[in-house]
Structure 1
Amino acid sequence: MRPPAVAAQNPWYREPWPWLLMSGPAIVVVAGFITLYLAVSGQDGLVVDDYYKQGKAINQALHRDDVARQAGLTATVTFDQTQDRVNVAVKRADGSPVTEALTLSLVHATRSGFDNVVNLSANLDGYTGRLPALRSGKWNVLLEDKEKRWRLQREINVGTAALAPLALRPVAVDAVDAVAPPLVGTPPAIKPSDAAQPK
């Protein structure tokens, strides 16, 4: 009588199940190293070291909006993406032209590395400058004089379509307060109008 035949058993590394079970942890380890590399090599443009100093700077910027509002300044910005030019027409409420040197800042909403400053040169129609390539997303467009006494601004959303002409106006102080309330635990913001009043 013969003993029953025993099926030949493959070694473990020739079976699919151990490899399938080990692939999950192996993928997690590789993904962990990729995440570590991205965290170490990337830069976070959103981190601010001194929040109190930033709050004081915001109050100074709001004063620049008040100066532009009192002067009755408005501007129209036209983007010519075919020729990589930006054209700006600035006027006062009384219709008199603005003759000072101007800069146009294109500030990305979340990535400071994408920000651009365009020095505008005067021409017969107003001002013109070289338009840098803009990535898609939200941008703040700020027009200001070189001495930073006043500013006009507007938020735009850049997509794949051509950019329409923009009308820039001073931001109302009340609108800024409604959009960005002060953080808990920080000193209250002092409005330029409050600073001028005696207590």
Structure 2
Amino acid sequence: MSQPVLQVVVGSTRPGRKGLAVACWVQQLAEAHGGFDVELVDLAEVGLPVFDEPDHPRLQRYTHQHTRDWSAVVSRADAFVFVTPEYNHSFPAALKNALDYLHVEWADKAAALVSYGGVSAGLRAATALKPVLTSLRMVPVVEAATIPFFQQFLTEDGEFVPNDQLAAGGKAMLDELLRLTTALRTLRAAA
């Protein structure tokens, strides 16, 4: 059996965002982990408009090419790491929009969260995101990488360089993500 595909999803699309640097670190960490084939998915590049399909996503009757393209991207993944900042005690609208576009494609896949912010480390965003993921039948892992005062880990060049505790937390998150992904892959194959 081939390695599962892990998509690291950059949840922020705003100009000047730092989430891409955090996501690149997660991508490198996941590649070094060795348990996944890793893809970086940048919602700014995906460029979805505000949800514009006439039918409910569970029917998969997509009328727009951007939805069909997004469906193909998400369908090839076995697991996800959502990298999200905290905006006004929640996660970005672009991430919610991207999740709302699809339904079946998300089901029975494991999801991990990497949140970042100031003193809160983006935990309110992660807390708000979990019920959305479970309503789409994803399985959020308990282990997470939460990054307080994330700017301290950014170099002058904008690269994200974590400390040992963040790296260890990220590895534990990926270990659990792989364990659940393996089990859920079997479940999806049986369905």
TM over 0.5: no
TM-score in terms of structure 1 length: 0.22
Pick the structure with more helix per residue: 2
TM-score in terms of structure 2 length: 0.23
Give the greater-gyration-radius structure (CA).
Answer: 1
